[in-house]
Amino acid sequence: MKASKISFGINYIDTKSILHRLNGVTKFVLFIAWTTVVLTTFDLRIILLLLAFGLFLLKVSAIPFRIYKPLLIATAGVLSLNALFIYLLAPGQGSDLLGSETILLPMPSGYSLTQEMLFYLLTVTLKYFTMFPIALVFVFTTHPTEFSASLNKLGIPYKIAYAVSLTLRYLPEVKKDFVNIMHAQQARGIELTKKAPLLHRIKNIVRILGPLIFSSLDKAQDISNAMTLRGFGRHNKRTWYSQKPLKKIDMMWIIGILIIVALAIAKRLTDTQLFWYPF
């Protein structure tokens, strides 16, 4: 049996782009600011602007599309299921929030499809999807050790900074374990390719999660023991080999980001309605 190949990854890839030259703290501030703006707005205009800019940054990072294509498909699939369940559990929520009801497809038992519900589902789905490109930009363009050193330089305890570094470094290991377990399952005759029906593939993929969780716990214990043997945490300070100072371009980015966040929060506080609805 020919094992299916997994070509995606979730790890630092140095493509020498302009985003790679920014300090890790700058990109972390961008990520936190992005999350803040996304969580405080339901304005579809702002959401679409964020999505377009996020995809632009992902393009600037020069990361090959094949690397994150499976993640893109998986994210779109999960968000589509989320929209479906929102409709099934609360089919009238869109009309309640937007204050009007325009029925497009009459259905029994209160499940009539309305224009307001479609607009609400579109807004919510794109709202969460805007987090996808900026998260990938942060992970793909930020070296874990350099980022941890920068956090420690800002005053964050080095133990916390080092934990962040370990988290970023561990993401590729999770992917590697997933592939190894998947190949082992395929060798046992469990079909995970497109030859099997979709529901059958989903059921078989669930079988991978158990071994993956236990494998991750074992590795976490090994890492903890190794750090203890090396005396990690014995001193209050540590030196960093990959420390990178904030440059003028980083300060310009941070100031610009903070101004945009302040404007977004001010807009949210002054808006009289939660949703922007043009119809």
Domain coordinates in residue numbering, the chain = 12-143+254-279, 147-241
Say if residue 189 is exposed, middle or buried (CB neighbours under 10 Å; 0-12, 13-18, 19+).
exposed
Q: Identify the pLDDT of residue 10.
A: 67
Q: What is the DSSP letter of 254?
A: H
Q: Let me know: does 165 contact 144? Beta carbons within 8 Å.
A: yes
Q: Identify the pLDDT of residue 129.
A: 93
Q: Identify the pLDDT of residue 9.
A: 57
Q: Identify the pLDDT of residue 55.
A: 92
Residue type at 236 in one-letter notation: N
Place of tokens 């999660």: 209
* C-alpha distance from residue 71 to each of 75, 123, 129, 154, 185 (Å): 6, 21, 12, 32, 21
The pLDDT tens digits of the residues spanning 67-125 come to 888 888 888 888 998 999 988 888 888 888 888 888 888 877 778 888 888 999 999 99
Q: Could you say which residues of the chain have pLDDT below 50?
A: 1-7
Separation of alpha carbons 103 and 105, rounded Å: 6
* C-alpha distance from residue 124 to each of 121, 146, 222, 229 (Å): 5, 35, 41, 48
Q: Identify the pLDDT of residue 1.
A: 37
Q: Identify the pLDDT of residue 128.
A: 92
